[in-house]
Copies of this chain bind each other. A is one copy, B any other.
């Protein structure tokens, strides 16, 4: 089992969700986040004081999948989120040691 974590542009969330559904990845958790990558930020002025805003709004996706689903999941996210510009986002994959469904107590690959 793997945990796929992606940071994407907020406005791509719906597209990514759709692509994931097409690959039959239905479960996920979403959080908002601020991110700092290659993408440079923008300048705000508040009452005459300039501020460089380099923490940009992103959406974080956490998707736990069985190993055979890792590549389809990655493909779906890239598919939905890619515009080819910096700031499109980043995907991280981690090992998942265990997974438990609280309602049933199921464990492991069945519980994903």
Contacts and interface: CB of A to CB of B under 8 A. Distances in A.
Q: Please classify the interface of chain A as helix (H, G, I), strand (E, B), loop, or mixed, using the class held by over half of its residues.
A: strand
Given A31-B34, A81-B102, A94 B95 contact: yes
Interface string A1-33: 011001110000000010000000011111111
Interface string A58-99: 101010100000000010011001111111111111111111
Contact of A31 (B33, B83, B86): B33
B31 A27 contact: no
Nearest to A78: B102
B92 A77 contact: no
Residue of A6, A28, A31, A103 with most partner-chain B CB within 10 A: A103
